[in-house]
Amino acid sequence: MALVFLVFFILPLVFVVVVSFWDYNDYEMIPTFTTRGYTDSFEGCLAQLPELCTILKTYVQTLKFCAIVWAATLTIGFTVAYFLAFEVKSREWQIILSLICTIPFWTSNVIRMIAWIPLLGRNGLVNSFLQAIGLIDQPLEWLLYSQFSVILALVHLFTFFMVVPIFNSMIRIDRALIEAAYDAGASGWQTLWNVIIPLCKPGIVIGSIFVITIVMGDFVTVGVMGGQQIASAGKIIQTRLDALQFPAAAANAVILLGVTFLIIAALTKLVDIRKEL
Amino acid sequence: MPNPAALELAALTKRYGSTTAVDAIDLKIAAGTYCCLLGPSGCGKSSTLRMIAGHEAASEGDIILGSQNVTDLAPARRGTAMMFQSYALFPHLSVLDNVAFALKMRGVDKKTRRAKAGELLDLVAMTPYAGRLPAQLSGGQQQRVALARALITEPQILLLDEPLSALDPFLRIKMRAELKRLQRELGISFIHVTHGQEEAMALADLVVLMNGGRIEQMGSPREVFNAPRTEFVARFIGGHNVIATDTAKIAIRADKLQLVPGSAMDGARGGIAATVTDVEYQGTFVQVSARTAAGEDLIAHVGEAVFDARPLQVSESVTALWDAAQSHTLS
């Protein structure tokens, strides 16, 4: 176990950090210590303040996506999990419905994303329908290759990662606790707020970690659904890799890792995950 | 503090689909009574309690508390409070916040509700543990917290669902004494569901013995123990022999049954020939088991001195004798 962890996680990570401090030119890496990988990316950023330079804007954009997707997946995921855990009474139906939730995972991410395109495109189903019923006369441009479509696809792809851990927390709640709350005069919302949500906190945090780490590093969804017009932190790394600037790519990866790590550290402050697992 | 009220159940019925869990029971419990609903599992005692609490809807019949028909009211509006079998303490809340929960739901401000919860913790001697989480308490301590939590709404009746079943035997005896003391101090009715006849005997002012969704017999523990009406009651309450005679079945307390050595019949008092199958020393008495020719098992509790005067051996022939005045004809 420790060996697997070392070979597949620690070593590559160490390697990325080491490479991020190497020098580079147009066609090769030069193993000497330099912080060029970092400084190049942020060139001129300090001078531009308070105007945000491109790279900072990109990070802000990624964080914004992350926050919106997180809020949406949490709301939808919690609702679905609540329905599965409390409204569906029979165990068989709970299993059947959970399996149905996994159906989208039977195809690849890319296919699921592409499936949105005929739906949202300028002559897509949604636009055609809205025009047919006379709600709009011009096709809505913001449906596809926009922030909207990126967020929609991300929420669609990752809500399930919220459902599973929250559902897992919910089915472990002793039903007598809900009755005890009811006995004490709590209304449905009061029970939700005072009993169910606090007891689901571990599931919420674990689901949040899944969603946040995936969205922070995502560049495929942002690329495809954004029509290659929207930048993201992951996209920066990809661009650097395409340009064979490995140290710069590594440096950006380290920065992204740092930011994500900070968010997760803040989340784990809320709940002791090791105790809950 | 809480104001006691009488409870009346009128033809209370609970059906689950085609099965009837509680079959039109009528019951009056005077204010300030310690009432035990006693019976084997599946007899309807828990369903009855849950209907009184409002956690199960009654299929038919009425529940009248004091002067109010509470049949269709929400649990918190009935003036009842329930203590759950596994205590159902909120694991994420401290002891103090658990106790204060009902007041929080009513919108009582933090300072007032915590002060009130403090008083109740004091009542159950749990003040030193106010800051702990339920997981950091022993079973007995959790039970006290659950009690305090149930009492904070000043209920007219406290409903306890097998409150002692999660405790070890030693603690069970200690906690049952505490329940009784608390009930006396508060002066409200406690309705306590149990399948342990010993527990019911020790605690109850009124024992309600249930079987198959009906009340089999009710009365003070003494009345029920000394005059079981049916074979079921005699067997369930324990300490009785059920003997089939020519006319009817009769019940005789184990300590009133004599086992005389030899098969000599004492014509005046009747008797049954039997063979000793087991002799168990129980401290203050010796429990002698015997089997009649008809295959009925008899149990006699023989005083230590009586036993010592003439010890019985396993497989010895004996005659079981009883005083007719001590036997009860069962219906």
Rounded CA separation A117/B48 (Å): 59
Residue B236 falls within a domain, yes or no? Answer: no
Percent of chain B topping pLDDT 90? 60
Statement to judge: residues B39 and B182 lie in one domain: yes
Expressed as residue numbers, the domain containing B249 is 241-329
Q: Is the pLDDT of residue A131 over 90?
A: no
Q: Are residue B108 and residue B250 in the same domain, yes or no?
A: no
Interface subset of A 75-134, CB within 8 angstroms of B: none
- For residue B268, what pLDDT is reported? 47
Q: Is the peptide bond before A50 cis (omega within 30 degrees of 0)?
A: yes
pLDDT digit string, tens, across residues B90-145: 999 999 999 999 999 999 999 999 999 999 999 999 999 999 999 999 988 999 99
Average pLDDT value for residue range B159-168:
90
What's the pLDDT band for B1 if we cut at 50, 70, 90?
very low
- Per CB-CB distance under 8 Å, the chain B contacts of A186 are 101, 105
Q: Which of B203, B226, B249 is the last residue of a domain?
A: B226
* Nearest chain B CA: its distance from A177 CA (Å): 5
pLDDT at B63: 94
B173 lies in the same domain as B321: no
State pLDDT tens for residues B265-286.
554 456 788 889 999 998 888 9
Residue B280 lies in a domain: yes
Residues B273 and B151 in one domain: no
Residue that is last in its domain, among B226, B256, B285: B226
Same domain membership, residue B156 and residue B61: yes
pLDDT, greater one: A54 or B153 = B153
B299 and B213, same domain (yes or no): no
Confidence of residue B11 (pLDDT cuts 50, 70, 90): very high
Q: Please say which residue of B226, B261, B288 terminates a domain.
A: B226
Structure tokens at B35: 């009432």
Residues B32 and B128 in one domain: yes
- In tens, the pLDDT along B48-92 reads 999 999 999 999 999 999 888 999 999 988 989 999 988 999 999
Q: What is the pLDDT of residues A62-108, one digit of tens each?
A: 899 899 999 999 999 999 999 999 988 888 998 888 888 888 778 88
pLDDT of res. A195 = 94
Nearest CB among A180, A186, A190 relative to B84 is that of: A180
Is B307 contained in some domain?
yes
Do both B13 and B161 map to the same domain? yes
CATH code, domain with B20: 3.40.50.300
CA distance A176 to chain B (A): 6
Residues B84 and B205 in one domain: yes
| Domain identity same for B80 and B203 | yes
Does B234 map to a domain?
Answer: no
Rounded to an integer, the average pLDDT of B143-162 is 93
How far apart are the C-alpha atoms of A127 and B8, rounded to whole Å? 66
Within-domain flag for B1: no
For the segment A53-70, the average pLDDT, to the nearest whole number, is 88
Residue A41 has pLDDT above 90, yes or no: no
How high does pLDDT run on average in chain A? 85
Q: Does B165 touch chain A (CB under 8 A)?
A: no
We report the CATH number of the domain holding residue B248 as 2.40.50.140
Let me know whether B63 and B172 are in one domain.
yes
pTM of the model: 0.80
Residue B233 domain flag: no
Three-state secondary structure of B131-198: CCCHHHCCHHHHHHHHHHHHHCCCCCEEEEECCCCCCCHHHHHHHHHHHHHHHHHHCCEEEEEECCHH
User: What's residue A29's pLDDT?
Assistant: 77
Is B231 inside any structural domain? no
What is the set of domains in chain A, with CATH numbers? 15-276 (1.10.3720.10)
Question: How many domains is chain B partitioned into structurally?
Answer: 2
Question: Is residue B235 in a domain?
Answer: no
Among residues B155, B13, B4, the alpha carbon closest in space to that of B76 is found at B155
* DSSP count for chain A of H helices, then E strands: 17, 2
CB count, 10 Å around CB of A142?
A: 10
CA nearest to A190 within chain B: B105
pLDDT at residue B160 greater than cutoff 60:
yes
Task: Measure A183 CA to nearest chain B CA, in Å.
Answer: 5
Do B293 and B177 share a structural domain?
Answer: no
